[in-house]
Amino acid sequence: MEIESMVANSALIKAREGGGNKGRSLKWKEMLRFPHISRCMDLATNIERDYHSLCVKQPIGKKLFQLFCRSRPDLQNYISLQDALETFETKSDEERRDFGINIIQNLSTPFLLPERLQGIMSNLSISWIRDLHQYLSGKPFVEYQESMFFDRFLQWKMLERQPINKHAFRQYRLLGKGGFGEVWACQVRATGMMYACKKLEKTHIKKRRGETMALNEKQILGELDSRFVVNLAYAYETKHALCLVLTMMSGGDLRFHIYNIGPPGLDRDRVCFYAAEVCCGLIHLHQKSILYRDLKPENILLDDSGHIRISDLGLAIQLPDRGLVRGRVGTHGYMAPEVISHEFYGMSADWWGLGCLIYEMTAGRPPFKARGEHPSPSEMERRIHKQQEEYGDRFDQSLFPPLQLLNKDPNLRLGCLDRKGREVQSHPYFRKINFRMLEAGLVEPPFKPDPRQVYCSDVQDIDEFSTVKGVILDNIDTNFYSKFNTGSVPTSWQNEMIETGCFSELNVFGPFGSRPPDLDWSQTPESPKRSLLDRIFHRCHDDQTSWP
């Protein structure tokens, strides 16, 4: 390993570990200083007063609403019931009965009547949660909006909406490159949170007419909140690039693990686990009518714990109402027969991709080419249409061939029969996977990456990104950048505040549950401090205007 890579890797590992200050700037509290509540008036007037959005969907909003309810003796049991029912959903089948009985015996609310006991035993707790939210969205929600807890939520929202630029981050080593730019490891100065920054070079985007693709990826990522798909945290621009700040996946991609660590391929437990999590990610995308279209090992990333996420949604598309599109989109060797043939297709293309992924993880090679072979695109297309894949000793012959993910007829392909993909999860191949526990993040991965290792190519082995000359950016480009440059993504930003401990450290109130000064409407807010540069500029301006 070259000295350059050693230094870059060492700096990245140290940043990931955090240290005593958890990677935060020494001025992090100043960066996250609450504005006085009087400065939140416009937001209070314009914010959507929707219970589900404010108290369920948004993580900080949910926590503050729960704090409000816990401060009210008449509402405490309702929130305890909500917590218990959410926990109940993550319990194994064997644990559910005893846990349900414990809920009935210890939490007294109108929802826990004796005649409803059978409901919780019959896996009907979801309807209980719905009824509970219906009650809380009434009078409790109205009263919450008059409390200091809602005012504090407005303060957090003001911080969330602060403009974002490159100075909000520290940049570490280069992780890789794509079609429009490079991916760098970065860290939020205020919280110490690690991310991957995908920089899309403006001149490259314009030269290759990639504006639609770039904006499409950004918009789709902004709509998603899945533990099996990389999340978008921030979107901002610099002079030369559009930047997507995404979930940091320190464990590398599956291609690296298949081909660079030991003999090609992975053991059966890892293959099944990764396939199950990819399956969950595809279902989450498909539930929002999003077709992924680029499933391959290098687009599946591992996090610190060994869980995977789907990445690189540049080729994803929102399906129209009829649920079908047409276009040769994807990577050679992984495109489904119907994609290659210019036929209309839907979710079938993604289930074919999952079949290719399972095959490659198991065999240590793609299904339609040998190791080290480089067939032409036309030959690869011929094989996909005509050639039957072969299953060697590494495959469980009793399970994999019937899996039918590589059936050339999309009408017979597994995952396409009920248009929801649930029959994939119920296939005997996944008999050892508890998908409810998996979706809750409670299944231990069979492999955990070494935190002292960097799972990507050495810095000097990543080709330098070429520069583009002769491309001039104009007002049309500037208008496009304004659609891209939207700052923080609410759910991701709020989760960051909670996960890094910033929320618990800053979300304090006055003695005995009173309003602190920044929430006191009777106090005049302090004037915001000017920066050193502002003070210098202002002084120079005063000196100039005083000249005769």
Domain holding 242: CATH number?
A: 3.30.200.20
CATH classification at residue 312: 1.10.510.10
Indicate the residue among 144, 171, 199 that finishes a domain: 144
Q: Closest Cα partner for 214 from 179, 185, 247?
A: 179
Residue 139 counted as an annotated binding residue: no
**Same domain as 398, residue 442:** yes
Cβ proximity of 281 and 232 under 8 Å:
no
Give the integer Cα–Cα distance in Å for 438 and 273: 9
**Same domain as 310, residue 345:** yes
Model confidence, pTM: 0.87
Give the integer Cα–Cα distance in Å for 488 and 513: 30
**Same domain as 121, residue 104:** yes
> Each residue of 145-182: pLDDT tens digit?
999 999 999 999 999 999 999 999 999 988 887 777 88
In the chain, % helix, strand, coil (3-state, to 5) comes to: 45, 10, 45
**Same domain as 271, residue 223:** no
Mean pLDDT calculated for residue range 488-502: 97
**Same domain as 231, residue 285:** no
- Which residues does 319 contact at the CB level (< 8 Å), separation at least 6? 289, 290, 291, 325, 346
> Each residue of 313-344: pLDDT tens digit?
999 999 998 889 999 999 999 999 999 999 99
- Which residues does 245 contact at the CB level (< 8 Å), separation at least 6? 169, 186, 195, 196, 197, 198, 232, 233, 234, 235, 236
Distances (CA, A) of 4 to 182, 460, 466, 475, 522: 18, 8, 20, 40, 57
32-41, 480-489, 506-515, 523-532: which has the minimum mean pLDDT?
Answer: 523-532
Report yes or no on 536 lying in a domain: no
Report yes or no on 278 lying in a domain: yes
Indicate the residue among 391, 425, 450 that finishes a domain: 450
CATH classification at residue 102: 1.10.167.10
Give the integer Cα–Cα distance in Å for 387 and 302: 32
Report the share of the chain in percent with pLDDT over 90.
61
Mean pLDDT across the chain: 87
**Same domain as 298, residue 397:** yes
Catalytic positions are 294
Report yes or no on 72 lying in a domain: yes
**Same domain as 383, residue 355:** yes
**Same domain as 397, residue 263:** yes
Where does 8-60 show beta strands of DSSP type E? none
What are residue 497's phi and psi, to 5 degrees?
-60, -40
Report yes or no on 241 lying in a domain: yes
Report yes or no on 167 lying in a domain: yes
Tell the residue number behind the tokens 């610099």, with chain if given.
238
Q: In what order do the strands lie in the sheet with 181-188?
A: 169-177, 181-188, 194-201, 241-247, 232-237, 487-488
Query: Which residue(s) pair with 236 in the sheet?
Result: 243
Report yes or no on 545 lying in a domain: no
Report yes or no on 495 lying in a domain: no
In 3-state terms, what secondary structure has residue 375?
coil
Contacts 24+ apart (CB under 8 A), 39-43: 39/158, 39/525, 40/151, 40/154, 40/155, 40/157, 40/158, 43/154, 43/157, 43/158, 43/161
Domain boundaries, position 385: 254-450
What are the tokens at 475? 């007002």
**Same domain as 310, residue 198:** no
**Same domain as 279, residue 171:** no
Q: Please tell me the predicted confidence (pLDDT) of residue 164.
A: 96
**Same domain as 284, residue 242:** no
**Same domain as 266, residue 391:** yes
- Exposure string of 249-272, with b = 16+ CB inside 10 Å and e = fewer, is bbbbbbebbbbeeeeebbebebbb
The model's confidence at residue 249, banded by pLDDT at 50, 70 and 90, is very high
**92 pLDDT above the threshold of 90:** no
The tally of domains found in the chain comes to 3
Indicate the residue among 439, 471, 487 that finishes a domain: 487
